[in-house]
Amino acid sequence: MQALSSLVREHQVISGLLGALHSYAGRLRGAAPPDEADLLRFASTFRELVDYRHHEKEESILLPLLARNGFAWSSGVLAEVRRDHSHLRYLIDVVYQAAAKGLSWNRDERRKIAEATIAFVDFKRRHMLKEDGELFPAVVRRLDASALARLATELAQFDEATGRNPETARVWQTAEELIQRYSVGSATIDLRNVEAQAPESERLGLSEVRYGT
């Protein structure tokens, strides 16, 4: 899946963040709740990393390229992926709005926020399983070498362009901090230079990292 390595790498990072957020939600239900400000950090990081970056790459590069190469646009897996993305934006907004209120949460509010947070985590995990198990294998199986090379080039160009933005480094740094703070048994991971390193499965050492849920 070399052509998809950019997206696969981001799935690995997102998986780590989902594990950390699930752990955070569990602590919200406990007697000693975590830092409320971290929920806004989670919501902002997911909005920027998942929606503004990962979903943007899929919707502006991957899906149109697949449609030009024989995949149905309005039905099947491409339509499902776009519907999922729309619902994920809604779920991220729900968590973001809860976090942005900046109020001291009582027990009932913490319970509701935890439920909304876990709903996002569960849905995003199912979505990535669909992409990893259905969409990505279909890409490799159905696209010829020329189309795969074009896909890899366009994804690399996107990464290079966004990597020049100082905000990108801040997002990776926040992701790293949240993973280290809330993931159970997580190894030390440096995401800050992920854009410049290779190969994909080794960039973060994620092939051997197990994130808590």
Q: Which residues, other chains included, contact 114 with Cβ-Cβ below 8 Å and sequence gap of 6+? A: 25, 26, 28, 29
Q: What are the residue ranges spanned by the domains of the chain?
A: 2-208
CATH 1.20.120.520 holds for 2-208: yes
Cβ atoms < 10 Å from Cβ of 211: 22
The radius of gyration of the chain from alpha carbons, rounded to an integer in Å, stands at 18
Cβ atoms < 10 Å from Cβ of 213: 14
Residue pLDDT, tens place only, 36-65: 899 999 999 999 999 999 999 999 999 999
What is the reported pTM? 0.83
| Distance between CA atoms of residues 88 and 90, nearest Å | 5
pLDDT of residue 67: 97
63: left (phi over 0), alpha (psi -120 to 50) or beta: alpha
Residue pLDDT, tens place only, 79-101: 999 999 999 999 999 999 988 88
| Distance between CA atoms of residues 55 and 61, nearest Å | 10
Residues of the chain with pLDDT under 70: 102-103, 184-213
pLDDT of residue 207: 32
pLDDT of residue 103: 64
The stretches of 4-144 forming alpha helices (DSSP H) are: 5-28, 37-46, 56-57, 63-68, 76-100, 107-130, 136-142
